[in-house]
Structure 1
Amino acid sequence: MTDKIEKLNCILLIDDDEATNFYHKIILEEEGIDVYIQSVKSAKEGLDFLLSKGVYEDCPNPGIIFLDLNMPGMSGWDFLEEYNVLSKDIHDRAVVSILTTSENPDDRERAASIPIVKDFVQKPLTPKAFWKVANENFILN
């Protein structure tokens, strides 16, 4: 069993659909959690957010990354390959949860074979799905 991460400070939403990011942000805000919520529209922007200390220096480091799989350009799978080679420090403070419309069992199986992926959630994000990821991976008051 993995140790829980101390505190959830930030949630990163990575989805190419702006309306989906907006909706998921509202869902999270309605849960009354005191965290920074950052949404980006591409896997590349997500990686940039994780690596940047200049542009986003006022933002806390993401604890949960909700990642869409099917995006143009760099897909969620491509993101996971790049994320996997990032520093241990980034991996130690964040968990990745796939958030997708895909019902393909091959996608679920592939995600389960990647150790950095902690969950596979069907869109849209629900409060129940969020709390499952949060409670399993973070110390929440």
Structure 2
Amino acid sequence: MGSPAAVGPLTYTVLDTEWKESLEGSLGAKLPEHRFLVVNVSITNGSGGDVNVPLLALIDADGKEYREMDKGEGVAQWLGLLRPVPPAQTLNGHILFDVPLGGYKLRISSGGDAESETTALVDLPLRVEAPPIKGVDSLATPASPK
């Protein structure tokens, strides 16, 4: 994670990941089956023509595959389903998965047809940040008992 990984004409860089227990949508909170994992990625096209970035997948430690979600409501800068990248251009944004909490490998793809497609794996280690503590002022004087 953080280092560029090239497959065919595309170079992927996973910038960071964020776990979410819900997403805000137009109809209220959207809950996952497991947990949402939002992956911030940068994809550069090094070829002389347009390349479509395919949907990606996560692989867990047991080899189980989880496909990228095809709906990203509630995700800022969601890359969407159709992701053409012009020559020498970079696409930046987020992709979304619904997976159990854990470490994964992101399978990236060259975007070619089935006979010529190449793939690689990028490690996404488990990184969970503690939620902020609300309403605690460590400098406040405790209330005296009555």
Shared fold (TM-score, shorter chain, > 0.5): no
Structure with the higher helix share, 1 or 2: 1
**TM-score interval w.r.t. the shorter chain?**
under 0.3
Structure with the higher strand share, 1 or 2: 2
Pair member with larger Rg: 2
Q: TM-score scaled by structure 2? A: 0.25
The higher-RCO structure (CA 8 Å, 6+ apart) is 1
Q: TM-score scaled by structure 1? A: 0.25
